[in-house]
Structure 1
Amino acid sequence: MQILVPGTPGRQESLERLPDAAQQERVRQLLWEFADNPGDGELVSRLDAELEDILVQARRALEQGRTGEAGSLLDIVDDIMPKFPGLAGARAQLAQARAVDDLLAAGRGALERGDISQPEGESAWDYYRRALDADPGNAAAAEGLADVEQAMINQALVYARRGEFDAAERVLEEAGHVRPDNSLVARGRAQFDEIRLGEVQRLEARAVRAMDAGEFSTADRILIDLIALGGQDDRVKTLRRRLEEARRYGGFSPGQIIRDPFLNSDAVAPESVVVLAGSFTMGSEASEAGRAENEGPVHRVTFRSGFAIGRTEVTVEQFRVFVKESAYRTDAERNGRSTILDPFSGRLTERKNISWESNFEGRPADSDEPVIHVSWNDAQAYVEWLARGTGKSYRLPSESEFEYALRAGTTTRYWWGNGSPNSVVENLTGDGDSSRSRRQWSVSFEKYSDGFWGPAPVGAFQANPFGLFDMGGNVGEWVRDCWHDTYVRAPGDGSAWINPGCIERVIRGGYWASSPEQSRSAHRLYAKANYHDARIGFRIARDL
């Protein structure tokens, strides 16, 4: 047995590293006594007990991470008895603990440098994981991994705030593998979701603003960004439907009333109603009573986009504003005459000095009556003035737009049914109506009276299902199309059928003196573009 002797150089000083001064004195005394009595078994037993206690202190220091203290204690045992049982094992534990300390220090350094999960083998995650593999119960290593996890979460949130959500997702996914306990990642993901929701709401608001402004390409790009965020299927579907509606209706809604102000004056365009996009069968079947050949063949017309059409016919007052601001002279004014209904003979008669300011009998017209004695040329000049003044696409309606809006989803002879109305719906020829001279209509709707002989103030009766007034009665109305004897080769997209240089234009809708056959939804008339009389007015249309 090799045992320290008191006089060995450097050995005596090692005892001074014992933390317990009393134990230090006991061991020193035992060593002196053993030097005088090397064969004394009792002294050997007492010394073994002291060394075992020092070894226990060393192991306790190792368990508590005090590797420096443990090393000093093991050096004391090694100096006294190099082959003491358990010393080699404790030395191995110390070496492992020192290696773990080195890994922990490397982990802290990597964390400070920002090397959280990269480069591979030299990241904080790698160092702390190796430390924990070497010492599964090491609290510092476990805490270091928690720090790594939090640093990764923080990095993910930085990415998220910059809008780099894919990168943030990858880092959060990676952070979920750092430790079995994912509570930190769960909290980080909640923060990430909150940031992403904020971005979603911001993009959604931008998309809606773009749609409302008619910037549909911009809205499309924003939706692509929204899709890239992931997990927003329901929102994207809703916005796509809204975008499609916006494309169809220019940011308006079906049934909405539009009244555009002029850009450089106090004038305002007449009210128009946004018409629902859709499809209908135009014309009349051969079996329809009163049908004319020019109402066929029936054909399908589809409006892929909505449009707006005048809520009422253009009034005398609205036309007066146009004449005043544009100094326009109508065809009737240039001709010096127009056709009126003679109240005594009951016949249409041409009279001098009749113009748009005159009513159907040639007397001054009320301001809320539909303007009459206007030609197609006059109506076209009015909508062109509206377009210039408002900056919007005003025009006359196409023939198919007019019939679609007149029918308003119905397929019957009239928008109210197949015969005489059960209530007052339009200004029609009723058997209960009579003129000032007690005249009555020779052909009329049975059991019907609206109280007017001649045009009524616009909007005086019931609106059709599209919210439009006087579509089937009151006055006939100019539309944009050239006249064609049939619908063979007629457009199926709702556009006007125009031939360059055409002279005759189409008139749609019944008027105050129309027979029941002439009041049908499919009925159509025509006249030269410069024609005007007491039966014809017009209403506006507008692209969305």
Structure 2
Amino acid sequence: MTTSRDDTMNADAPQTLVIPAGDFVMGSDDGAANESRAHLVWVDAFAISPYAVTTAEYALFLHATGHAAPPFWGSEEFADPRQPVVAASWHDAMAYCSWLSEGVGHQYRLPTEAEREKAARGGEVAKSPWGDELPPEHRGGRDTPLEPVDAYDANGYGLYGMASGVHEWCADWYAGNYYAASPSRNPVGPPSGERKVARGGSWRHHVRFTRCSARSALAPEKQFTDFGFRVVHSPTCQHRVHGLTGEAR
């Protein structure tokens, strides 16, 4: 739906952290077939929210715009305002980004798949944001409750929930063999497809999705209780860089 000036009056700029431009190793040679091949990718600097969009933040969007609430909205299981919003489709996430952009002034969007993986790695090359081993407090997966967005420690970039909570929508269309011919600078996925990429582990899925390189995908109209999103935008002069205030670099 189209938002008006009045629709955006409750939009507040979320905190963001700048991820500096540079190369990182994307993908994996010892994961699922769609994670192969491990390859060096350059990503320009971008600013990303340290948290997935919360139920409280999404409630402001719904109130301001009259956008249809997702399934399970208001249910006791997902009522904690600190939890990531769930069951928002890719289209819902894009509508939220448009509303936020009009209200705040920055051009907010969903991260590309490459941006999301670089952010999840936190400047490291380990399999998961916390290292190569899976500690007990991060086992998550099936039959675990959905927790607040800051339930676990941040990664090396100061980002929370990059491998737990909800699968997070990305901007890209999905192709299982995309890495076979993907560009080495700022890849944005194939030009079309049937499913959109999602990244990160979730409260009800297999722990293998906690790997930084793990890829999942879903049709953009689907609304599942283990899918959510976080926002990014191009860096401006003054933002928090790895937890320190300074110029984007």
Task: Decide: shared fold, TM above 0.5.
Answer: yes
Match of 2:60 in 1: 321
Of the three residues 27, 34, 59, the one matched with 1:294 is 34
- Within 5 Å, give how 1:206-221 maps onto structure 2: none
Q: Does the residue aligned with 1:395 lie in a helix, a strand or coil?
A: coil
Task: Give the structure 1 partner of residue 230 of structure 2.
Answer: 539
- Contact 1:491–1:497 under 8 Å retained in 2: no
What are the Cα deviations for residues 227-263 of structure 1, in whole angstroms up to 9, with x where unaligned? xxxxxxxxxxxxxxxxxxxxxxxxxxxxxxxxxxx99
Taking the TM superposition and a 5 Å limit, the aligned residue runs for 1:341-360 are: 354-358=71-75
**Residue 264 of structure 1, CA deviation:** 6.4
Q: Give the one of 2, 24, 31 matched to 1:280.
A: 24
Q: Quick check: which one's strand share is greater? A: 2
- What displacement does 1:320 show? 0.7
The 1-side partners of 2:163 and 2:186 are apart by 19
Gaps of 5+ in 1: 1-261, 333-353, 431-439, 442-452
TM-aligned CA distance change 1:357 to 1:497, over 3 Å: farther
Distance 2:184 2:37 in 1: 12
CA distance in 2 between partners of 1:283 and 1:512 (Å): 23
Task: Judge conservation of contact 1:475–1:511 (CA < 8 Å) in 2.
Answer: yes
Return the structure number with greater helix share.
Answer: 1
Q: Give distance in 2, aligned partners of 1:297 and 1:506.
A: 17
CA shift in 2, pair 1:505/1:409, >3 Å: same
Corresponding residue for residue 107 of structure 2: 393
Cross-structure match for 2:140: 429
SS at match of 2:218: strand
Which residue is 1:410 aligned to? 124
Match of 1:513 among 204, 211, 223: 204
Among 353, 377, 380, which residue is 2:94 paired with?
A: 380
**Residues 1:264 and 1:358: Cα distance change in structure 2 (over 3 Å):** closer
| Counterparts of 1:455 and 1:503, CA distance in 2 | 28
Residues 364 and 517 (structure 1 numbering): CA distance in 2 closer, same or farther, change over 3 Å? closer
TM-score by length of 1: 0.40
Contact 2:197/2:218 (<8 A) preserved = yes
Equivalents in 2 of 1:401, 1:393: separation in Å?
A: 16
Q: What SS does the corresponding residue of 2:180 show, helix, strand or coil?
A: coil
Tell me the equivalent position of 2:244.
Answer: none
User: Are the aligned partners of 2:163 and 2:209 in contact in 1 as well (CA < 8 Å)?
Assistant: no
Equivalent residue runs for 1:446-465 within 5 Å = 453-465=144-156
Check 1:358–1:279 CA distance in 2 against 1; reply closer, same or farther (3 A cut).
farther
> Per-residue deviation at 1:302?
0.7
Q: Deviations over 1:515-534 (max 9, x none)?
A: 33221111111110001111
AA aligned to 2:49 is G
Whether the 8 Å contact between 1:284 and 1:522 is mirrored in structure 2 is yes
CA gap 1:418/1:280 in 2 versus in 1, 3 angstroms: same
Cα deviations across residues 188-228 of structure 1 (Å, max 9, x unaligned)? xxxxxxxxxxxxxxxxxxxxxxxxxxxxxxxxxxxxxxxxx
273-282 or 262-271, larger mean C-alpha shift: 262-271
Letter of the structure 1 residue corresponding to residue 221 of structure 2 = N
CA distance in 2, matches of 1:277, 1:356: 38
CA distances 1:53-105 after superposition (whole Å, capped 9, x unpaired): xxxxxxxxxxxxxxxxxxxxxxxxxxxxxxxxxxxxxxxxxxxxxxxxxxxxx
SS at match of 1:389: helix
Which structure: larger Rg?
Answer: 1
Listed as ranges, the matches of 1:106-145 within 5 Å are none
Instruction: Check conservation: 1:406, 1:415, Cα contact below 8 A.
Output: yes
Which of 181, 187, 192 is the equivalent residue of 1:489?
Answer: 181
Q: 1:365 to 1:284 in 2, by over 3 A?
A: same
Matches within 5 A, 1:221-370: 265-285=9-29, 288=30, 291-303=31-43, 305-330=44-69, 332=70, 354-358=71-75, 363=77, 365-370=79-84
Deviations 1:410-460 (A, max 9, x none): 2121121211227x4x5x428xxxxxxxxx86xxxxxxxxxxx22111112
Percent identity reads 33
Correspondence list, 1:164-175, <5 A: none
Mapped contact 2:173–2:191 kept (Cα < 8 A): yes
Q: Compute the displacement of 1:541 (Å).
A: 0.7
1:277, 1:308 → 2: CA distance? 11
Deviation for aligned residue 1:467: 0.2
- Higher RCO by CA contacts (8 Å cutoff, separation 6 or greater): 2
SS at match of 1:415: coil
Count of equivalent residues: 229
Corresponding residue number in structure 1 for 2:3: none
SS of equivalent residue, structure 2 residue 18: strand
Question: Which secondary structure state, in structure 2, belongs to the residue aligned with residue 526 of structure 1?
Answer: strand
